[in-house]
């Protein structure tokens, strides 16, 4: 029984490897998402029982000047994977993002709400969702937000690195969302994969950490748990300009996933404690 995972070095892929070491993981050397045909061929070659796409173009700002390349990775490749899975009649699970929404209002976004990405990255991820659905097979699109872990580049590691040399940090306080531990995303994907193989209905679902907070609030909790005396000054998004616009409202309503798959939204503070403990243990 082969579980095939696209992705190897990313945050979610590394957490999947911890929980499913028997799975086959394809990094860029084995399956480059800039070559969708090769991705489909890899699925045929491995003949898996389920495929999880945990790889993506995640350079949000760079996508503004390289949208075509981002779209190949985030849309064309998942579409090719999904079509191959449809042909083989196996489930396909794909990770998406809160950036498919425009960030308006203050209510948590539901899976069926109208999309409206603000930038190239969001457009590429939305195109990927559309391609996966169009393939017509058994699938799960899992939208998530603000992913963090002890691996790779993420907000928690950036804050801890900056805190080593600065007694105070200015952090955006008007973007609200749910930090999500990569470990919980991996666990949710594996649970959903097993249920899809047993006949559960898939579709589009949301999975994000609770309770909601701002980036500034996320930073404060990080410093508290790390035992660091760092002052956090809240600033507005407009005071921290970036090439790509960020959504102000990244809240995700995760009710449907809990109802359909029995997977509750995680408490990100618990996941944060585990990440900080791991970083301390590794000396990072």
What would the pLDDT profile of 90-111 be if each residue is shown by its tens digit? 999 999 999 999 999 999 999 9
Nearest to 145 by CA among 9, 12, 278, 279: 12
In a domain, 87, yes or no: yes
Give me the chain's average pLDDT, please: 96
In a domain, 72, yes or no: yes
Give the pairing type, strands 147-148 and 180-181. Answer: parallel
35 pLDDT above the threshold of 70: yes
Q: What percent of the chain has pLDDT over 70?
A: 100
- Average pLDDT of the residues in 13-31: 95
CATH of the domain at 11: 3.40.50.720
Nearest to 254 by CA among 165, 176, 144: 144
In a domain, 284, yes or no: no
Active site residue 121: yes
Range 225-255 burial, b when 16+ CB lie within 10 A, else e: ebeeebebebbebeeeeeebbbbbbbbbbbe
In a domain, 239, yes or no: no
What would the pLDDT profile of 57-83 be if each residue is shown by its tens digit? 999 999 999 999 999 999 999 999 999
Length of the chain equals 284
In a domain, 39, yes or no: yes
1 pLDDT above the threshold of 90: no
What distance, in Å, lies between the first and last C-alpha atoms of the chain? 36
What would the pLDDT profile of 141-177 be if each residue is shown by its tens digit? 999 999 999 999 999 999 999 999 999 999 999 999 9
284 pLDDT above the threshold of 80: no
Band the pLDDT of 283: cuts 50, 70, 90.
confident
In a domain, 119, yes or no: yes
Task: Report how many domains make up the chain.
Answer: 1
* SS3 state at 188: helix
In a domain, 21, yes or no: yes
CA distance 284 to 277: 10
pLDDT at 282: 86
114 pLDDT above the threshold of 90: yes
Report the predicted TM-score, pTM, of the whole model to 2 decimal places: 0.96
pLDDT at 250: 98
Question: How many Cβ atoms are within 10 Å of 13's Cβ, its own excluded?
Answer: 25
pLDDT at 80: 98
Query: Cα separations (Å) of 26 from 53, 82, 105, 200, 246?
Result: 10, 16, 39, 26, 30
CA distance 253 to 212: 11
In a domain, 29, yes or no: yes
- Average pLDDT of the residues in 239-244: 94
54 pLDDT above the threshold of 90: yes
- Average pLDDT of the residues in 275-281: 95
Q: Whole domain around residue 130: which residue ranges? A: 3-152+179-211+251-266
Sequence-distant (6+) residues with CB within 8 A of 239 are 170, 172
Candidate list 121, 146, 215, 261, residue with the active-site label: 121
pLDDT at 254: 98
How far, rounded to the nearest angstrom, does the alpha carbon of residue 258 sit from its chain's CA centroid? 18
Report the run of H or E that residue 4 belongs to, with start and end.
strand 3-6
């Amino acid at each position: 029984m082969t579980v095939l995972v696209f992705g190897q070095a990313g945050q979610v892929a590394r957490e999947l490897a911890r929980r499913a070491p028997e799975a086959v993981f394809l990094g860029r050397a084995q399956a480059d998402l800039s070559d969708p045909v090769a991705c489909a061929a890899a699925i045929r070659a491995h003949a898996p029982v389920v495929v999880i796409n945990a790889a993506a173009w995640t350079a949000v700002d760079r996508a503004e000047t390289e949208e075509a390349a981002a779209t190949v990775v985030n849309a064309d490749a998942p579409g090719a994977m999904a079509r191959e899975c449809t042909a083989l009649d196996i489930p396909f699970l794909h990770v998406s993002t809160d950036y498919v929404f425009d960030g308006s209002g203050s209510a948590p976004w539901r899976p069926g709400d109208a999309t409206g990405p603000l930038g190239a990255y969001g457009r590429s991820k939305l195109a990927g969702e559309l391609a996966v659905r169009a393939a017509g097979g058994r699938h799960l699109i899992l939208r998530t937000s603000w992913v963090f872990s002890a691996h790779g580049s993420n907000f928690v590691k950036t804050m801890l690195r900056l805190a080593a040399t600065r007694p105070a940090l200015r952090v955006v306080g008007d973007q609200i969302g749910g930090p999500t531990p990569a470990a919980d995303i991996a666990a949710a994907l594996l649970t959903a994969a097993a249920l899809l193989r047993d006949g559960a209905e898939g579709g589009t679902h949301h999975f994000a950490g609770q309770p909601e907070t701002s980036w500034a609030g996320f930073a404060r909790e990080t410093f508290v748990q790390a035992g660091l005396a760092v002052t956090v000054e809240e600033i507005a998004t407009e005071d921290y300009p970036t090439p790509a616009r960020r959504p102000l409202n990244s809240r995700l309503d995760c009710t449907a996933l809990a109802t359909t798959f029995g997977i509750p939204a995680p408490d990100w503070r618990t996941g944060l404690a585990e990440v900080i403990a791991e970083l301390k243990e590794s000396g990072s």
